[in-house]
A and B are shown apart, each in its own frame.
Chain A
Amino acid sequence: MNWASFYAVISGVNRHSTGIGRIWLSVLFIFRIMVLVVAAESVWGDEKAHFICNTQQPGCNSVCYDHFFPISHIRLWALQLIMVSTPALLVAMHIAHRRHIDKKLYRQAGRTSPKDLEQIKTQKMKITGGLWWTYMISLLFRVLFESAFMYLFYMIYPGYKMFRLVKCDSYPCPNIVDCFVSRPTEKTVFTIFMLAVSGICILLNIAEIIFLVARATSRHLNNSKDSAVGAWISQKLFSF
């Protein structure tokens, strides 16, 4: 059970997403999960072993490390990626439920050949009706989780910058002790990179929300009696 199997589970939802949703998924896997696994984990790998305090007092290292790093960046990003990917499973469950109902209807209509059942499996579901609401809710939760984690990051590590030196006076350190963080510049670079990609993902999610709302509005207006007004509005909306 690792990122590879996680990828297999999440990319199954890919088929039923919009174009922007697929871009979001690619950004997530390439610029966040891959960078986390390939690069960031080795940068933060020796964070505790090479956190050195200017004292011989046993235990001072551990206590100061715990004081300045309550939860490591790597773990926060791993949690963020897992929480942000989970709403897609809501959509997957809804699609599975719709397929189950389709199968029942087919069976009642007498169409039980393997070809028909295969067709149900491979058919791409349209994002309409109940599925539209599920998709919107999953997008809103994604934006919420992303923002919440970015805020949490800011709360725990104000300014997003990693310092070279921190001053610690927790027990059992005698008086105030200088402690040195390992690879601070590299960590700052990766922190800013992951933050920027997180920001891009939030923008993609907001764009997807706007796109879905616009599409639903134009569909609704086209179906309504005043189709000329609907056509004009939808033409204006998509002329950007």
Chain B
Amino acid sequence: MSWGAIYAQLGGVNKHSTSLGKIWLSVLFIFRISILVIAAETVWGDEQSDFTCNTQQPGCKNVCYDHFFPVSHIRFWCLQLIFVSTPALLVAMHVAYRKRNVKKGLLANRSGSAKVDDLESLKKRRLPITGPLWWTYTCSLFFRLIFEAGFMYALYYVYDGFQMARLVKCEQWPCPNKVDCFISRPTEKTVFTIFMVGSSAICIVLNVAELSYLIVKALLRCSERTKRRRTFVHQDKMSTEKALLQNEKNTRLPSSASDSSTNKTL
């Protein structure tokens, strides 16, 4: 299980996403997962070994490191990326379930080569985001937003902002009094933290835009349906009124015809 496997899974979901969803996926892979693996992991690689405290007291360095870095940034981002990618699997499961039902129907009704062609086209077909799938997709977007915002807030809360200090003062036991401890590569870490937070913010904006787009599209679809129903009912009404008028005309016609015939005979 690695980033490659997640990439393979999510790439499959890509087919059934909206265009904004596809852009979100590209931003996720190129600017977040790629940067995390290629660059950030090497920057944080020596974070504990190069965390130096100005003391000879054994154990002080460990205790101070643990106090100032309860969870490393890298682990935070890995968890965030995993949590944020997971709701897309809900959508994948729903699509697979729908396709299975359609497959069952096809297998029952048709036979021969037509069946094979239909099954093949079913595999490649892109399902429209309507009905229960719309609700699943919207829920997955909502969860994505909650996880992104939640992790960003957690990072801000645990590290008191997004900046990494060069020097921290530590007075945990067994450190004698107050001890200066120096963090390795603080500027580089600040740069990458701001980069990852920025990418996270862009992803939040894309998710909000996608959510609004889906809601607006659903509302438009709803209003079109009610408009169509109203014109149908109106047409129905019009046709029954026309029919009644025609009936009246028809009833009048034979009486006039019979009058003329009697006149003739007379």
Residues on A facing B (Cβ under 8 Å): 1-3, 5-6, 9, 48-49, 57-59, 61-63, 65-66, 69-72, 74-75, 78-79, 82, 86, 89, 93, 97, 114, 171-172
Contacts and interface: CB of A to CB of B under 8 A. Distances in A.
B7 interface: yes
Given A1-B7, A3-B38, A172-B180, A61 B187 contact: no
Interface in B1-52: 2-4, 7, 19, 22-23, 26, 29-31, 33-35, 37-39, 42-43, 46, 50, 52
B53 interface: yes
Chain B interface residue bracket vs A: 35 or more
A62 B46 CA distance: 12
A171 B180 CA distance: 11
Nearest to A89: B26
A66 B184 CA distance: 7
B166 interface: yes
B54 interface: yes
A48 B46 contact: yes
Nearest to A36: B38
Q: Max chain B CB contacts within 10 Å: which of A49, A71, A74, A93? A: A71
B181 interface: yes
A12 B109 CA distance: 40
Contact of A61 (B26, B34, B52): B52
A172 B2 CA distance: 42
Contact of A58 (B42, B52, B186): B52
B54 A71 contact: no
26 contacts: A1-B3, A1-B29, A5-B4, A5-B7, A6-B30, A6-B34, A48-B50, A58-B52, A58-B55, A59-B167, A59-B182, A62-B185, A63-B182, A66-B186, A66-B187, A69-B185, A69-B188, A70-B188, A70-B191, A71-B187, A78-B35, A86-B30, A89-B30, A114-B120, A171-B167, A172-B180
Contacts of B129: none
Contacts of B43: 72, 75
Nearest to B181: A59
B106 interface: no
A74 B55 CA distance: 32
B37 A62 contact: no
Interface of B: 2-4, 7, 19, 22-23, 26, 29-31, 33-35, 37-39, 42-43, 46, 50, 52-55, 120, 166-167, 180-188, 191-192
9 closest cross-chain pairs (CB), A and B: A59-B182, A1-B3, A70-B187, A62-B182, A58-B54, A75-B39, A71-B188, A78-B39, A1-B33
A1 B53 contact: no
Nearest to B37: A1
Given A1-B7, A59-B52, A62-B52, A48 B35 contact: no
B26 to A, nearest CB: 6
A112 to B, nearest CB: 9
B84 to A, nearest CB: 15
Given A59-B53, A66-B187, A70-B187, 20 more contacts: A1-B4, A1-B33, A1-B37, A48-B50, A58-B53, A58-B54, A58-B55, A59-B182, A61-B52, A62-B183, A62-B185, A66-B184, A66-B188, A70-B191, A75-B39, A78-B35, A78-B38, A82-B38, A89-B26, A172-B54
Nearest to A4: B4
A68 to B, nearest CB: 10
A225 to B, nearest CB: 40
Given A5-B7, A66-B185, A74 B42 contact: yes
Contacts of A59: 52-54, 167, 180-182
Contacts of B38: 2-3, 78, 82
B39 A58 contact: no
Contacts of B183: 62
B37 A2 contact: yes
Contacts of B55: 58
A74 B176 CA distance: 39
